[in-house]
């Protein structure tokens, strides 16, 4: 029997690329690495791995000419942004880059200033003209969605793809959560504490929580409680793709 040769999946290619990047930078002393070197050796490859084409800023090229591009040194009223992420002619993201020896979490405020300083944008979220903000040192990546004041910055594993930003922009979590209030959770097989658990989950989602823990004793109907919640998340639109893992 001839062996079956499987083409590597996108996820495999991304992991291989990250391994090669790690080997490439092992011989470099991080303390002597400049921000430019960090950008070219660590950040640029990660942006490309998630579907972004990196190009320099061109004053003669309008935003409508970009589809899935990370524009370097994009000018704003508050200084040039390291990268501007443009999808289908819309400026959706700003990336603030720092050299690898600096922690990126506290520099999201710089990305916020750039977002407020963008002129060529049809968006305005309480003064922010760009909705999705990132800060990274090439190893650690922080993200913030500034469209709602309840959103909090958080660490993420990788950049969002252009398709993911397009989907995120199209969603209205407030409208999705209003479905919960308009459609009472009244399944006749649910016990009162199960209803309370579902209500707590939905309330936390409305408050922009990204991590929740529901603790229930053996035999109290954990599976049925969560299957019911999965159904409600899908019906409301608050959940698009849900992994239900049983251990």
Phi-psi region of 139 (alpha: psi -120 to 50; beta: other; left: phi over 0): alpha
User: Do 66 and 86 meet the contact criterion of CB atoms below 8 Å apart?
Assistant: yes
pLDDT in single tens digits along all 247 residues of the chain:
444 444 556 666 666 666 665 555 545 566 678 888 999 999 999 999 999 999 999 999 999 999 999 999 999 999 999 999 999 999 999 999 999 888 888 889 999 999 999 988 999 999 999 999 999 999 999 999 999 998 999 999 999 999 999 999 999 898 999 999 999 998 999 999 999 999 999 999 999 998 999 999 999 999 999 999 999 999 999 998 999 988 7
Under 8 Å between Cβ of 230 and 244 = yes
Q: Which residue has the tokens 């009223």?
A: 77
């Amino acid at each position: 029997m001839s062996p079956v040769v499987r083409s590597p999946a996108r996820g495999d290619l991304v992991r291989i690329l990250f391994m090669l990047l790690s080997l490439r930078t092992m011989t470099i002393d991080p303390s002597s690495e400049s921000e430019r070197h960090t950008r070219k050796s660590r950040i640029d490859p990660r942006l490309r791995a998630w579907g972004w084409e990196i190009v320099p800023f061109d004053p003669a090229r309008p935003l409508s000419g970009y589809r899935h591009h990370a524009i370097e040194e994009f000018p704003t009223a508050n200084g040039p942004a390291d990268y501007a992420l443009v999808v289908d002619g819309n400026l959706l993201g700003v990336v603030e880059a720092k050299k690898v020896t600096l922690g990126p979490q506290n520099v999201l405020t710089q990305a916020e200033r750039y977002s407020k300083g963008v002129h060529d944008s049809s968006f305005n979220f309480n003064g922010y003209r760009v909705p999705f903000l990132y800060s990274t040192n090439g190893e650690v990546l922080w993200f913030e969605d500034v469209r709602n004041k309840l959103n909090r910055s958080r660490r993420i594993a990788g950049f969002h793809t252009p398709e993911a930003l397009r989907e995120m922009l199209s969603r209205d979590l407030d409208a999705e959560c209003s479905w919960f209030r308009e459609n009472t959770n009244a399944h006749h097989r649910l016990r009162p504490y199960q209803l309370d658990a579902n209500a707590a989950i939905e309330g936390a989602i409305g408050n922009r929580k990204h991590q929740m823990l529901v603790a229930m004793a053996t035999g109290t109907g954990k599976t049925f409680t969560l299957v019911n919640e999965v159904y409600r998340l899908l019906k409301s639109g608050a959940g698009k793709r849900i992994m239900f893992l049983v251990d």
